[in-house]
């Protein structure tokens, strides 16, 4: 465990940004003074800060922690919280665990930030909305480890917004890849969508990807060479209505027109998987148990297939997904909440979470010990995976575009309308 | 002979209708016995049968499901809010029907207009009002929420009161009875079926509502939830494949007492619904 | 207008002609009662005055003073790295300013009304004293709440409940429609402020990027069609079913009725979610249909495109509309049957008898006697159920929460073809934090509902006793 306070540079930038970040007229002299002061103390051990905190703590420390409602999560988190409390025997902790669906975390937190949990675990796509609502506490300093040294750079960067660190990297396996049954499909079959659908038709089975969902749909367009980026004002830039975009949409349309190609939501996917109909599907680690049970010894996973655009094979891209631990900006005990967040994301905790849930750690040390077909597939896909940075106006039009592709209604007009919706200005 | 066939045909037709009406409920029932915990969209009947879901439901509360606690909470909220609502409705209806006070008509028009706002929108404000009173996350807060505005539902009961002959009211007054006496001794006993109707409706409210309660209850401990909130929560993406049978069991278990209530109270309910409308 | 003028004229008159006690009441509200030896009432009034005024200045003033801007100081925080403590400035919360501001305004208005009423009452007592009439003692006052002022006793608590749960939230919502409260302006961290009628302008605008106008017209049309059709079908179906069960040839009437009633007992969200799963694109009904060949049949008669492998019960426009209405019939008929059973029992049998003697057949009796009678009785409540259906959140939301639209213009304003106004605004607030547009839509919905109810306004609030009073 790293005992040194984070480098002077980091501290001083944080101190400055703590002022600037809030849109206040940053008092230059004050900021410089703070920076000077911290520089002198930069070598002081973190124990001082924690000792200060322990000394200043009176009575019981109440911390609410919201995380996924699955049994595995609740159990492992309970244990980690107990371990955390045991680390500081002088302090009386009351850590309460709450079960909140990760997909809804942002909605639940934003209903009333002041009443929400002090520490919560959320997927990376919610970072922006949470920061925009001012719900996340900035990670101004770290006390027990330095994420820049312990975690993969991509995950650390993903938890930043506008150059500031808002989340503690927790898992790095929230992206998607292809599960398949290797007893029925060969390596060549899963290499491209064209081969995959052809083979599935032959077998009379199903394969697919939830196309009517912007999160997955992005992979096709990005893979074909189109771009989707976000501006500073949270509006989007999107060129999917150019020639490449049209070609990609038409290609996807012809893939999807195969009888074997399905666009299931998660419920339908699992039901049909259990019935033995689905032999390959684009999904993520959250379904790892379902797929490994359904395929038995045929269980396998790999990077996403390629698909043909203008006669050329293009690798389907994807969003890389992460989960972060966030501290509520309105937390009652900011200091303790930050320490708990750090504890939950350190190497040993991430290992414990990996063992409990099968999710890939963001910590390099823990990641080295983790290995499974799903994580290997994610690693293989990672070079084609992009960090998700997209404005809120993307999702509804993209969902609708996906639905149009599935229905075989692709046209320049549809793409133009979709792009108009995706890029509509934000007031 | 033709007549017999007609009667048989009539009953067959009814049986067919009942069959259509009961299919989803039948599916609910058989699903509760399924060993597969997720949704089975491809088969009507479960592949393997078990009773363990009920055991789970009643005796093994876990991080997401706590049926006994939900039942208790909904029972408390339902009972309390139905007592308060019933009182409020009777009081309002009596005032509007029997007493001719200044501003009565304006007040009635105003109350009618109030009922037309989409409630979904005012939830945020309701939440902050409860927060201001320090009543979020509490049973009391929910009782206030479910029964507070119940006075607006006076129309049907007022219609019923309007059918009580004014002569009765007048005669009692001549004998020196105060309005309060007339209210408690004469009018309330006369309107039993209406009261049963109001009681059933306001009792069901907390059992059925999941939109309002989701915002009002911030606690993430299943022990603090109501039935509707708890069951609805089980349908979250991450849970539904583990808890669908639990959901079905829970749904069925609350359906049994409520259906029984309806079947027993049918007569009162019918009189209640129509009591306000049938005049003279 | 004249009424309002008189209201204040009376007040002026009372002040001008009142004696010293009345004038003193302008300052201390209980004074007029002390002067007439109504000590208890005087104390109560004065206490009330002190309480209200101190609450206005103590609690509401800070909010009221910021109501015009909805706050100017944004939240700023400074985290001390060495002590791990956070200091936060004294920031404004627009939402609380608006909410408490509204409550404060209501309190002030109520207080002014009380104040004026008080002066008038005090003046009335002065007159009574001058005329030598009996002045009520405190006990008399209390007794009057059981008698001539019984309506106050009855209505106080329900009114407080309604104001708290209904009036204040509605005022709040109306105000939100004139602010820029959306995902970029969320309290407590960020402020929102008044922007006038811009949201309403957007609501009726259609361009390639702002499609609210386009979506609004379509959503509104479907909302109205849905409300009318849903009400009509369940109503008619309920009567027919009740009639059918009530028929003399039907045996076990109670059993049949109970079987239908069972469906009421299961919470709607349970049955509706089950049904939405059953009718899903790969749900059990679709599996059944393709096994039996119905899917094939639909393809052959052109209801489905040749490439469709399933019946899009709840996933394509047209299909979804029809099916929502069918499901609603399933949900609604048992209720309506109960209602209709009650009404049918009360049909004057002599009319039917005489019609039979005149040789009318069953259909003629149904359409000429039964229906008019039932319509006459349930007319007002039908309008009410149309309004309820306009705001029928459950059926639409639970059946179509997975619905995906292919209409780009709809999608761009987060609406879809199956949306009612109410589900649309729910999604806008819940998923997109777009409170400003949701409030604007809510107000328009409200105006439509009240316009509808105006049609039957007098009948609904009027009762048989109107004539007795006037």
Q: Show pLDDT as tens, one digit a residue, over chain A (427 residues).
A: 333 344 433 444 444 444 444 444 334 444 444 444 444 444 456 778 888 888 888 889 999 999 988 888 889 999 999 999 999 988 999 999 888 888 889 888 988 888 899 999 999 988 988 998 889 999 988 888 889 889 988 889 889 988 899 999 999 888 999 999 999 999 999 999 999 999 999 999 999 999 989 999 999 999 999 999 988 877 899 999 999 999 999 999 999 998 899 888 887 888 788 888 899 999 998 888 889 889 999 999 999 999 999 888 999 999 988 999 999 999 988 999 999 999 999 999 999 999 888 888 999 888 888 888 999 999 899 889 988 888 878 888 898 899 889 888 899 998 998 898 888 887 6
**Contact assignment for A265 to C402 by CB distance below 8 Å:** yes
What pLDDT, on a 0 to 100 scale, did the predictor assign at position A25? 39
**Contact assignment for B239 to A96 by CB distance below 8 Å:** no
pLDDT digits (tens, 9 = 90+) for A207-262: 999 998 999 999 999 999 999 998 887 789 999 999 999 999 999 999 999 889 98
Which top CATH class is B67-275? mainly alpha
Note every long-range contact of B108-112, with CB atoms under 8 Å and residues 24 or more positions apart, other chains counting: B108/C461, B109/C457, B109/C461, B111/B151, B111/B152, B111/B154, B111/C162, B112/B155, B112/C453, B112/C457, B112/C460, B112/C461
Q: How many CB atoms lie within 10 A of CB C230?
A: 24
Assign A334 to helix, strand or coil. helix
Domain co-membership, A199 together with A230: yes
Residue B262 has which token pair? 């309806």
What's B152's DSSP letter? Answer: G
Strands A60-67 and A119-123: parallel
Tell me how far apart the alpha carbons of residues C160 and B61 are, in angstroms, rounded to a whole number. Answer: 39
Of residues A260, A178, A173, A272, the one with CA closest to residue A216: A178
Q: Where in chain C is the domain with CATH 1.10.3720.10?
A: 201-279+314-469
Residues 6 or more apart whose CB falls under 8 angstroms from that of C307 comprise: A257, A408
Which residue among C74, C182, C412 sits closest to A421, beta carbon to beta carbon? C412
* Weakly modelled stretches of chain B, pLDDT under 70: 1, 40-42, 269-280
**Contact assignment for B220 to A66 by CB distance below 8 Å:** yes
The helix (run of H) or strand (run of E) holding residue A280 is: strand A278-283
Domain co-membership, A310 together with A332: no
Opening angle at CA A91, ends A90 and A96, nearest 5 = 145
Q: Answer whether C310 touches B (CB < 8 Å).
A: no
**Contact assignment for C465 to B166 by CB distance below 8 Å:** yes
**Contact assignment for B41 to A74 by CB distance below 8 Å:** no
Chain C residues 434-453 within an 8 A CB cutoff of chain B: 435, 438-439, 442, 445-446, 449-450, 453
Taking CB atoms and an 8 Å cutoff, what residues of chain A touch B236? 69, 101, 103-104
Q: In angstroms, what separates the C-alpha of A133 from chain C's closest C-alpha?
A: 6
| Every domain of chain B and the residues it spans | 67-275
Domain co-membership, A137 together with A187: no
**Contact assignment for A112 to B38 by CB distance below 8 Å:** no
Domain co-membership, A4 together with A134: no
Tell me how far apart the alpha carbons of residues C187 and C91 are, in angstroms, rounded to a whole number. Answer: 10
Q: Answer whether B132 touches A (CB < 8 Å).
A: no
What pLDDT, on a 0 to 100 scale, did the predictor assign at position A121? 95
Chain C residues 236-255 within an 8 A CB cutoff of chain B: 241, 244-245, 247, 249-251
Strands A206-208 and A261-262: parallel
**Contact assignment for B236 to A268 by CB distance below 8 Å:** no
Nearest CA in chain C to A8: C81
Nearest CA in chain B to C241: B14
Q: Which domain holds residue A99?
A: 49-166+323-361
HSE-CB at B244 with a 13 A cutoff on CA atoms is 24
**What are the residues facing C194 on neighbouring strands?**
C179
Nearest CA in chain C to A49: C82
**Contact assignment for B25 to C157 by CB distance below 8 Å:** no
The neighbours of chain A, by the rule of 3 or more Cβ pairs under 8 Å, are B, C
Global ipTM = 0.84
Q: In angstroms, what separates the C-alpha of B53 from chain A's closest C-alpha?
A: 17
Q: For an interface test with A, which of C72, C74, C77, C183 has the most A Cβ atoms less than 10 Å from its Cβ?
A: C77
Q: Is the dihedral of CA C122, C126, C131, C134 positive or negative?
A: positive
* Weakly modelled stretches of chain C, pLDDT under 50: 460-470
Has residue A239 been placed in a domain?
yes
Nearest CA in chain B to C460: B155
Give the CATH H-level superfamily of domain C201-279+314-469.
Answer: MetI-like (1.10.3720.10)
What pLDDT, on a 0 to 100 scale, did the predictor assign at position A17? 44
Q: Answer whether B223 touches A (CB < 8 Å).
A: no
Residue that is written with structure tokens 């009888």 in the block:
A259
Residue B189 has which token pair? 């006993």
Taking CB atoms and an 8 Å cutoff, what residues of chain C touch B108? 461
Residues 6 or more apart whose CB falls under 8 angstroms from that of B19 comprise: none
Q: For an interface test with A, which of B218, B242, B244, B245 has the most A Cβ atoms less than 10 Å from its Cβ?
A: B218
Residue that is written with structure tokens 């939240």 in the block:
C75
pLDDT digits (tens, 9 = 90+) for B194-250: 777 778 878 887 788 888 888 888 888 888 888 888 888 888 777 777 888 888 899
Q: Is the dihedral of CA B31, B36, B38, B41 positive or negative?
A: negative
Has residue A372 been placed in a domain?
no
Residue A82 has which token pair? 């107990």
Q: Answer whether A274 touches B (CB < 8 Å).
A: yes
Taking CB atoms and an 8 Å cut-off, how many pairs form between chains A and B? 73
Q: Answer whether A98 touches C (CB < 8 Å).
A: no
Q: In angstroms, what separates the C-alpha of C133 from chain A's closest C-alpha?
A: 59
What's A328's DSSP letter? Answer: B
Q: What's the total number of domains in chain A? A: 3
Assign A207 to helix, strand or coil. strand
What pLDDT, on a 0 to 100 scale, did the predictor assign at position C208? 63
**Contact assignment for C184 to A15 by CB distance below 8 Å:** no
Residue that is written with structure tokens 């096994």 in the block:
C291
What pLDDT, on a 0 to 100 scale, did the predictor assign at position A202? 92
Nearest CA in chain B to C245: B14
Q: Is the dihedral of CA A365, A366, A370, A374 positive or negative?
A: negative
Task: Find out whether B252 and B27 touch, Cβ atoms under 8 Å.
Answer: no
Cα A211 from chain centre: 19
Taking CB atoms and an 8 Å cutoff, what residues of chain B touch A111? 127, 215, 218
What pLDDT, on a 0 to 100 scale, did the predictor assign at position A35? 45
Strands A160-161 and A236-238: unpaired
Nearest CA in chain C to B280: C464
Tell me how far apart the alpha carbons of residues C31 and C169 are, in angstroms, rounded to a whole number. Answer: 36
């Amino acid at each position: 465990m790293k005992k040194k306070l984070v480098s002077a540079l980091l501290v001083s930038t944080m101190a400055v940004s703590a002022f600037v970040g809030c849109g206040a007229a940053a008092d230059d002299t004050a900021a410089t003074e703070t920076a000077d002061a911290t520089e002198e103390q930069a070598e002081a051990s973190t124990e001082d800060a924690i000792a200060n905190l322990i000394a200043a703590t009176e009575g019981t420390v109440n911390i609410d922690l919201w995380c996924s409602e699955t049994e595995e999560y609740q159990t492992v988190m309970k244990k980690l919280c107990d371990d955390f409390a045991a680390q500081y025997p002088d302090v009386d902790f009351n850590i309460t665990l709450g079960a909140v669906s990760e997909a809804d975390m942002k909605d639940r937190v934003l209903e009333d930030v002041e009443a929400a949990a002090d520490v919560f675990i959320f997927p990376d796509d919610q970072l922006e909305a949470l920061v925009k609502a001012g719900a996340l506490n900035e990670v101004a300093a770290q006390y027990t480890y330095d994420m820049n040294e312990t975690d993969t750079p991509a995950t650390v960067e993903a938890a930043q917004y506008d150059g500031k660190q808002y989340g503690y990297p927790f898992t790095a396996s929230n992206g998607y890849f292809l599960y398949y049954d290797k007893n029925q499909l060969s390596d060549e079959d899963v290499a491209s969508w064209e081969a995959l659908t052809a083979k599935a038709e032959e077998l009379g089975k199903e394969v697919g990807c939830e196309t009517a969902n912007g999160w997955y749909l992005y992979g096709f367009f990005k893979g074909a060479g189109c771009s989707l980026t976000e501006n500073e004002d949270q509006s989007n830039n999107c060129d999917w209505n150019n020639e490449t975009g049209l070609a990609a949409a038409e290609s996807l349309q012809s893939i999807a027109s195969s009888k074997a190609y399905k666009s299931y939501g998660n419920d339908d996917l699992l039901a049909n998987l259990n019935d033995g109909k689905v032999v390959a599907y684009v999904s993520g680690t959250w379904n790892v148990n379902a797929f490994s049970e359904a395929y038995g010894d045929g269980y396998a996973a790999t990077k996403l297939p390629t698909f043909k655009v203008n006669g050329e094979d293009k690798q389907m891209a994807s969003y890389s997904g992460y989960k972060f631990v966030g501290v509520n900006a309105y937390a009652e005990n900011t200091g303790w909440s930050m320490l708990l967040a750090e504890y939950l994301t350190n190497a040993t905790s991430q290992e414990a979470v990996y063992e409990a849930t099968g999710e890939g750690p963001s910590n390099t040390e823990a990641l080295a010990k983790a290995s499974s077909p799903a994580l290997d597939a994610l690693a293989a896909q990672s070079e084609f995976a992009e960090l998700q940075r997209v404005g809120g106006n993307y999702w509804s039009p993209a969902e609708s575009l996906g639905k149009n592709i599935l229905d075989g209604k692709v046209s320049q007009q549809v793409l133009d309308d979709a792009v108009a919706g995706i890029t509509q200005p934000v007031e | 002979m033709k007549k017999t066939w007609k009667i048989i045909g009539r009953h067959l037709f009814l049986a067919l209708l009942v069959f259509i009406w009961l299919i989803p409920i039948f599916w609910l029932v058989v699903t509760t016995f399924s060993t597969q915990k997720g949704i089975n969209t491809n088969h009507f009947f479960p592949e393997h049968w078990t009773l363990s879901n009920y055991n789970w439901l009643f005796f093994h509360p876990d991080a997401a499901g706590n049926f006994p606690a939900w039942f208790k909470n909904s029972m408390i909220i339902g009972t309390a809010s139905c007592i308060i609502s019933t009182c409020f409705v009777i009081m309002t209806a009596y005032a509007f029907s029997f007493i001719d006070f200044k501003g009565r008509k304006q007040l009635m028009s105003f109350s009618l207009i109030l009922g037309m706002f989409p409630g979904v929108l005012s939830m945020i404000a309701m939440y902050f009002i409860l927060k201001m009173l320090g009543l979020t996350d509490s049973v009391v807060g929910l009782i206030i929420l479910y029964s507070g505005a119940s006075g607006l539902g006076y129309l049907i009961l007022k219609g019923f009161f309007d059918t009580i002959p004014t002569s009765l009211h007048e005669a009692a007054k001549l004998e020196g009875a105060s309005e309060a006496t007339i209210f408690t001794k004469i009018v309330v006993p006369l309107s039993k079926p209406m009261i049963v109707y109001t009681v059933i409706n306001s009792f069901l409210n907390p059992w059925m509502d999941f939109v309002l309660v989701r915002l009002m209850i911030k606690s993430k401990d299943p022990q603090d939830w109501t039935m509707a909130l708890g069951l609805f929560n089980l349908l979250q993406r991450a849970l539904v494949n583990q808890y669908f049978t639990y959901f079905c069991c829970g749904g069925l278990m609350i359906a049994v007492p409520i259906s029984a209530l309806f079947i027993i109270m049918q007569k009162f309910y019918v009189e209640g619904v129509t009591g306000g409308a049938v005049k003279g | 207008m004249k009424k309002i003028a008189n209201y204040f004229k009376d007040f002026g008159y009372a002040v001008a002609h009142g004696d010293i006690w009345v004038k003193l009441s302008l300052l201390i509200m209980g004074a007029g009662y002390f002067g007439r030896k109504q000590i208890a009432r005087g104390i109560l009034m004065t206490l009330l005055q002190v309480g209200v005024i101190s609450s206005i200045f103590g609690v509401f003033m800070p909010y009221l003073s910021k109501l015009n801007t909805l706050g100017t100081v944004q939240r700023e925080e400074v985290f001390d790295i060495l002590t791990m403590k956070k200091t936060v400035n004294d920031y404004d919360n627009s939402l609380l300013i608006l909410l408490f501001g509204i409550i404060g305004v209501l309190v002030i208005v109520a207080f002014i009304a009380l104040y004026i009423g008080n002066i008038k009452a005090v003046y009335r007592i002065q007159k009574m004293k001058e005329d030598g009439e009996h002045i009520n003692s405190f006990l008399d006052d209390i007794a009057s709440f059981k008698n001539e002022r019984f309506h106050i006793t009855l209505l106080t608590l329900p009114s407080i409940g309604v104001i708290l749960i209904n009036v204040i939230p509605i005022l709040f919502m109306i105000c939100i429609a004139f602010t820029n409260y959306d995902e970029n302006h969320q309290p407590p961290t960020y402020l929102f402020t008044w922007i006038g009628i811009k949201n309403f302008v957007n609501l009726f605008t259609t361009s390639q990027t702002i499609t609210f106008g386009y979506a609004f017209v379509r959503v509104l049309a479907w909302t109205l069609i849905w409300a009318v059709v849903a009400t009509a079908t369940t109503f008619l179906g309920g009567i027919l079913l009740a009639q059918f069960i009530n028929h003399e040839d039907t045996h076990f009437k109670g059993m049949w009725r109970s079987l239908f009633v069972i469906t009421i007992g299961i919470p709607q969200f349970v049955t509706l979610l089950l049904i939405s799963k059953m009718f899903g694109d790969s749900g059990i009904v679709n599996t059944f249909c393709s096994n039996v060949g119905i899917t094939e049949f639909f393809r052959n008669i052109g209801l489905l495109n040749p490439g469709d492998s399933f019946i899009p019960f709840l996933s394509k426009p047209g299909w979804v509309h029809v099916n929502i209405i069918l499901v609603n019939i399933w949900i609604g008929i048992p209720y309506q049957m109960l209602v209709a059973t009650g009404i049918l029992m009360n049909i004057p049998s002599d009319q039917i008898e005489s019609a039979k003697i005149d040789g009318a057949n069953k259909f003629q009796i149904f359409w000429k006697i039964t229906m008019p009678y039932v319509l006459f009785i349930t007319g007002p409540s039908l309008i009410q159920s149309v309004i309820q259906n306009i705001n029928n959140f459950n059926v639409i939301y639970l059946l179509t929460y997975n619905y995906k639209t292919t209409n780009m213009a709809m999608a761009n304003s987060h609406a879809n073809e199956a949306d009612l106004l109410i589900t649309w605004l729910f999604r806008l607030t819940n998923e997109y934090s777009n409170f400003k547009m949701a409030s604007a839509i809510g107000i328009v919905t409200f105006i439509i509902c009240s316009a509808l109810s105006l049609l039957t306004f007098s009948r609904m609030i009027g009762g048989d006793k109107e004539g007795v009073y006037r």
